[in-house]
A and B are shown apart, each in its own frame.
Chain A
Amino acid sequence: MLVIGLDNGHEKTYMDSMSAKHDQKPIYLDYQATTPTDPRVVDAMMPYFHEHFGNPHSRNHPYGWEAEEAIEKAREQVAHIINANPKEIIFTSGATESNNIAIKGVAKFYQERKNHIITCVTEHKCVLESCRHLSQDGFDITYLPVQENGLIDLDELRKAITDKTALISIMGVHNEIGVIQPLKEIGALAREHKVFFHSDCAQAVGKIPLDVQEMNIDLMSISGHKIYGPKGVGALFVRRKPRVRLAPMMSGGGQERGMRSGTLPTPLCVGLGEACAICEKEMAKENERLHSLHNQFIADIKSELSDVYINGDTTHRIPGNINISFAYVEGESLMMGIKDLSLSSGSACTSASLEPSYVLRALGVDEELAHTSLRIGLGRFTTKEQLKKAAQSIVSSVQKLREMSPLWEMAQEGIDISKIEWAHH
């Protein structure tokens, strides 16, 4: 049993605190949005708030030294999970900052010689927005399309590389559809053409084995809160050999090899390090467990419902993500029907925009189906029982909504909905 260590003697077991709350709260199935901080991580962090509170950059007294020591241990833990050297890890506030520093920093540093960046249409918004920002400053950006399975075409990538290309930025594991891009192949191509390779691995670290040497990755973004660490901390791997240089985003005291000034948040860095260490140790076993949950869940759904589609490649994927569309049912109404589950919808109706998910559209998923997709995120604290309940809840809601869906009725009557001339509004 896991224990949250509280020094006041009122130790509370983790399972107690979870089960009491879960009686009223919906089942959490949104692990790609964020993860609960693992109690073991919280334990590791606690001493660095009050007891060892020193500024890790203070060189003149033990308060600083002990904080620095903790930071350096965390740096090693982060480096270890991706087979990097600790000196190549800089701490940031999260993957969004890491992606900004990597893309804008490399672009700005090398802009005299190179002005071209290659990325992909399904990247996270912070990557796309960083690129858009650079294009306003005169950089050329190539947005690679994806295939139906969500993966990039390596031939397209090869064709896009020019002697002006400074950086290729392709994510490791997709936040919405869970597919794993061919990192090793991309890295080999990049190295062959002497182009830097950056990968947003916020959703990949701790879930798939990553090796920056074998994969020839030059920059990698890491997030704390996606891997059962705290929010507000992340890291960026910046290769030293061959050396990657970048222009810093913030001016300051020159911490983190001058790439990211600002006092490091010791407890958060310790938490990120511990989160990486736990993931590394448990990855193989946890993946096996999630695979079996993943397969069982899909089998449960498909045994009760027809016209169900899984989005994204079914083999090159992490087991913790299920992106699934239910034809003839609209996403937001489905979300309203499954209030006992907390998950995300690919439907437009959950946001202020009327566009369905740009990611699913990029895969070529019909708008109709994109509107009906759910992203189900499984993780460390997901149980078999929770998923059984979730499947039952989804099945009964879909059945109820199909009974009232005119599209389902037409489909049952054999009418081809795509042949009808709809009045778009």
Chain B
Amino acid sequence: MSYSDQLLDHYEKPRNIGSMDKQDKNVGTGLVGAPACGDVMKLQIKVNEKGVIEDAKFKTFGCGSAIASSSLVTEWVKGKTIDEAMAIKNTQIAEHLALPPVKIHCSILAEDAVKAAIKDYQDKNA
């Protein structure tokens, strides 16, 4: 299988790897996927008082496409408001990385991870 340059770039130099304090009220954590399916993504966002995502971190167990998809969305959500981040679609991720059809589920997982992190943040601050 041959991958796009964008995908390889994110795989080789993943952005924003790391973890933030789960207990922090300003941090939302999303954990999606399952080990048995071959991919698990943990995506965290840190939201400031203006409702803007000022930082994002990820850790991913999965194929190169899964790593690239999660790396890419951490870049995309930074600087966005919650509502803007909610609007990120898996198709945009798949398109940007030129994911082959069998890897579309990786982009869906990345979208789910963003939504799960936002939900966690909102639940904490409800």
Same complex: yes
Residues of B25-54 at the interface with A, using a CB-CB cut-off of 8 Å, are: 31-42
- Does the CB pair A425–B33 fall under 8 Å? yes
- State in angstroms the CA–CA spacing of A348 and B1 once bound together: 13
Q: Which residues of B contact A367 (CB under 8 A)?
A: 35-36
- Does B72 sit within 8 A of A, measured CB to CB? no
B97 to A: closest C-beta gap in Å: 14
Number of A interface residues, CB 8 Å? 30
| CA of A425 to CA of B34, assembled, Å | 8
The answer on a CB contact under 8 Å between A330 and B59 is no
**Which stretch, A177-185, A188-196, A241-249, A405-413, touches the partner chain B?**
A405-413
Cβ contacts A336-376/B at 8 Å (1 or 0 each): 10000000000111101010100000000011100100000
Max chain A Cβ within 10 angstroms of own Cβ: one of B37, B61, B62, B102: B61
How many whole Å from B37's CB to the nearest CB in chain A? Answer: 6
Q: Chain B nearest CB: distance from A373 CB in Å?
A: 12
| A329 at interface, CB cutoff 8 A | yes
Indicate with 1 or 0, residue by residue over A364-390, a CB within 8 angstroms of chain B CB atoms. Answer: 001110010000000000000000000
Residues of A within 8 A of B37 (CB): 354, 424-425
Q: Which of B11-19, B83-91, B118-126 contacts A (4 or more CB under 8 A)?
A: B11-19
Picked from A330, A404, A407, the residue with its CB within 8 Å of the CB of B14 is: A404
Query: Inside 8 A of A336's CB, which chain B residues have their CB?
Result: 11, 63-64
Q: A316–B59 Cα gap in the complex (Å)?
A: 39
Q: Quick check: A405 and B61 within 8 Å, CB to CB? A: yes
Q: Is the CB of A404 within 8 A of B36?
A: no
Cβ contact within 8 Å between A406 and B102: no
Contacts of B108 in A (CB 8 A): 425
- Complex CA gap A403/B39 in Å reads 15
Contact check: which of A329, A348, A354, A425 meets B61 at CB < 8 Å?
A: A329
In the complex, what residues of A have CB within 8 A of residue B102's CB?
352
Q: Does B105 contact A (CB under 8 A)?
A: yes
Which of A328, A347, A406, A423 has the most chain B CB atoms closer than 10 A to its own CB? A406
Q: Check A405–B59 contact: CB distance below 8 A.
A: yes
B67 and chain A: residue at smallest CB distance: A333
Closest beta carbon of chain A to B8's beta carbon, Å: 8
Residues of B within 8 A of A (CB): 1, 11, 14, 17, 19, 31-42, 58-64, 66-67, 102, 105, 108-109
> Which 4 residue pairs across A and B have the least CB separation, nearest first?
A422-B34, A406-B42, A332-B63, A367-B36
Report A's interface with B, CB cutoff 8 A. 328-333, 336, 347-350, 352, 354, 356, 366-368, 371, 403-409, 417, 422-425
Extra pairs beyond A404-B58, A406-B60 (11, CB < 8 Å): A332-B63, A333-B64, A336-B11, A336-B64, A348-B38, A350-B1, A366-B36, A404-B17, A406-B40, A409-B42, A409-B59
What are 21 A-B residue pairs whose CB atoms fall within 8 Å in the complex? A328-B61, A329-B61, A330-B38, A330-B66, A331-B38, A333-B64, A348-B38, A352-B102, A368-B35, A368-B36, A371-B38, A406-B60, A406-B61, A407-B35, A409-B42, A422-B33, A422-B35, A422-B36, A424-B37, A425-B32, A425-B33
